[in-house]
A and B are shown apart, each in its own frame.
Chain A
Amino acid sequence: MAVPARTLRPTPGQTVGPFFAYGVSYDRMHQVVDPYAPGAALLGGTVYDGAGAPVPDAFVEIFGADPDGRVPRERGAFRRDDHTFTGFGRAFTNDDGHYEFFTLEPGAATGRAAFFAAIVYARGLPDKLHTRIYLPDYEAALADDAFLASLSPGERASLIASRTPSGALQHDIRLQGEGETVFLDF
């Protein structure tokens, strides 16, 4: 079936500005799951600008499938109850430009590479930026991914998290310059 023509012009985006913190914060927003829940994983990194300086006034949102690869349809991301998995989290960068989440690592459909969908917002960023944070552990699936294969090695590396010795996921986001993160349009 063909997609019909769109009838409405979309509303354009704008920057979140400097003073978003009190507007979009809520309790345990970066704890998609409780840090001590079974399977809880730490996902964190630093947001950098084009001069390599950390960005202290940005925020990152993630939306991820559950470990079975199922997309959560449950409500409650803004009223955490510590047992419902909503897949959604939001984290501000701190004064060192660092963000972090506690969440479950997403599964993927058979043969697909698993990733978190992610969006970055910041003062000085005129509109949101979509990206992906792929898990590093499924090398065969990563190698087979058509989108990743279309990228240069450096671009591809900017989308794949690394695993720290303690098992956490480490993923920096570079808004500009050397190692610039690949941002997406759909």
Chain B
Amino acid sequence: MTPQTAVAPESLLAAPDQASQREITVEIGSLHAELERRERAGERIRLTVHDFPAYRSSVLRHPTKNLKLVDPETIELLSPAFGQRDVAAVESDLTIQHAGVPLGERMTVRGRLTDSWGRPVANQLIEIWQANSAGRYIHQRDQHPAPLDPNFTGAGRAITNSSGEYAFTTIKPGPYPWKNHVNAWRPAHIHFSVFGSSFTQRLVTQMYFPGDPLFALDPIFNTIWRQKDRESLIGVYDHDLTSAEWATGYRFDIVVDGPDATWFENESE
């Protein structure tokens, strides 16, 4: 194979066919129906499917072969170790990284990181990144003509405490347009990158907000093909976490997956 010269990444952002939202919505519906049919026929299907052509940039980037089931070895059953030495406490507050106060709805996100057996994952790293309240990322390749906020970068880190709990203070992100199809908009979301108790449990996901009208239209959200699994990514408004005269509160609990071998690994610690 002759090596190809890479094209500028920003030119990759627009899908070549530029389908209508109606076409994309129909595609999402038929993909979900097909996955349900395959599951009924006895196939084991992942929570998030890699092959989901309604998300156009996945077409050439998903593996075509089934993942190979393998017994994890020690390096995979343990995780890189993190602690407060890796992350300053102030990094969990995205509203105090600049001289001024960012615009938008101040909010706190709290939650608990556990494994599939409900055991807390303590002293592990959570990274988040997000758009600002206008739906603009600070990333130089985001050319959405919404204002940048000089007082908001949109990246934070936290270490879970001994009960697996974490908390961030931030600004509620806005929805943002992308070029998957004509008039494509992502529901507002915060990206989460999470380390579990084992490297196999590594998770990158997105937290959404209740009642977003864009859920059914969004191919990325719908790469998670079961309704109940999609719902698990929607933060829960919790008035007990809302603080008077200060910030609204959302709860977002995160469960990192097995495998079974990790049960023993973490029992012995």
Contacts and interface: CB of A to CB of B under 8 A. Distances in A.
Contacts of B5: 96
A52 B1 contact: yes
A17 B191 contact: yes
Size category, B interface = 35 or more
Contact of B81 (A73, A117, A126, A178): A73
Q: Is the interface of A mostly helix, strand, loop or mixed?
A: loop
Of the candidates B8, B63, B69, the one having the most CB atoms from chain A within 10 angstroms of its own CB is: B63
A151 B70 CA distance: 11
Contact of B68 (A9, A95, A123, A185): A185
Nearest to B259: A186
Interface in A165-182: 175-178, 180-182
Interface stretch (B22-30, B99-107, B202-210): B202-210
A46 to B, nearest CB: 8
A130 B229 CA distance: 21
B95 to A, nearest CB: 16
A22 B153 contact: yes
Interface stretch (B34-42, B45-53, B241-249): B45-53
A121 B70 contact: no
B167 interface: no
A140 interface: no
A163 interface: no
Contacts of B60: 49-51, 53, 124, 175-176
Interface string B198-236: 011011111000000000000011011000111011000
Contacts of A7: 116-118
Interface residues of A, number: 82
A6 B258 contact: yes
- The 6 residue pairs across chains A and B that have the minimum distance between CB atoms: A23-B129, A124-B57, A88-B80, A10-B257, A19-B139, A78-B86
Interface of B: 1, 3-9, 12-13, 46-50, 52, 55, 57-65, 67-76, 78-83, 85-87, 114-118, 125, 127-130, 137-139, 141-142, 153-155, 157, 178, 191, 193, 199-200, 202-206, 220-221, 223-224, 228-230, 232-233, 254-261, 263-264
10 contacts: A56-B8, A73-B78, A79-B85, A86-B80, A88-B80, A106-B75, A115-B73, A124-B61, A176-B63, A185-B68
Interface of A: 1, 3-4, 6-24, 49-57, 61, 63-65, 71-79, 86-88, 95-97, 106, 109, 112, 115-117, 119, 121-130, 147, 150-151, 155, 175-178, 180-186
